[in-house]
Amino acid sequence: MASNATTERLIEKLEDLRRRYNEVSDEMNSPEVAGNAARIVQLNKEHGKLRRIVEPYLAYRKALADVEENQSLLEDASVDAELKALAKEEIAAGRRRCEELLESLKKTLVTGEDAAVGSVILEIRAGTGGEEAALFAGDLFSMYQRFAERHGFKVEVLDASPSDLGGYREVVLNIKGEGVYQHFGYEGGGHRVQRVPQTEAQGRIHTSAATVAVLPEPEEVDVQIDWEKDVIEHVSRAGGPGGQNVNKVSSAIKLEHIPTGITVSMRDEKSQHKNRAKARRILMSRVYDHILTSQIAQRDASRRTMIGSGDRSQRIRTYNFPQNRCTDHRIGMDANLDRVMQGDLDDIVFALQARDVEQRIQNL
Is 119-220+307-362 a domain of CATH 3.30.70.1660? yes
Q: Which of 128, 124, 121 is nearest to 140 (CA)?
A: 124
Q: What is the pLDDT of residue 176?
A: 93
CB of 130 closer than 8 Å to CB of 210:
no
- The Cα–Cα gap between 312 and 193 comes to 9
- The Cα–Cα gap between 137 and 191 comes to 9
- pTM greater than the 0.85 cutoff: no
Q: What is the pLDDT of residue 247?
A: 47
Q: What is the pLDDT of residue 104?
A: 85
Structural domain boundaries in the chain = 4-115, 119-220+307-362, 231-296
CB of 117 closer than 8 Å to CB of 180:
yes
Low pLDDT (below 70) residues in the chain: 1-3, 199, 201, 218-222, 237-250, 268-269, 296, 299-300, 302-314, 364
- The Cα–Cα gap between 342 and 236 comes to 69
Is 231-296 a domain of CATH 3.40.50.300? no
Multiple choice CATH, 4-115, 3.40.50, 1.20.120, 1.20.58, 2.40.40: 1.20.58
Q: What are phi and psi for residue 87, nearest 5 degrees?
A: -65, -40
Q: What is the pLDDT of residue 272?
A: 80
Amino acid letter, residue 234: H
List Cβ neighbours of 118 (8 Å cut-off, separation of 6 or more). Answer: 176, 177, 178, 179, 180, 181
Q: What is the pLDDT of residue 1?
A: 47
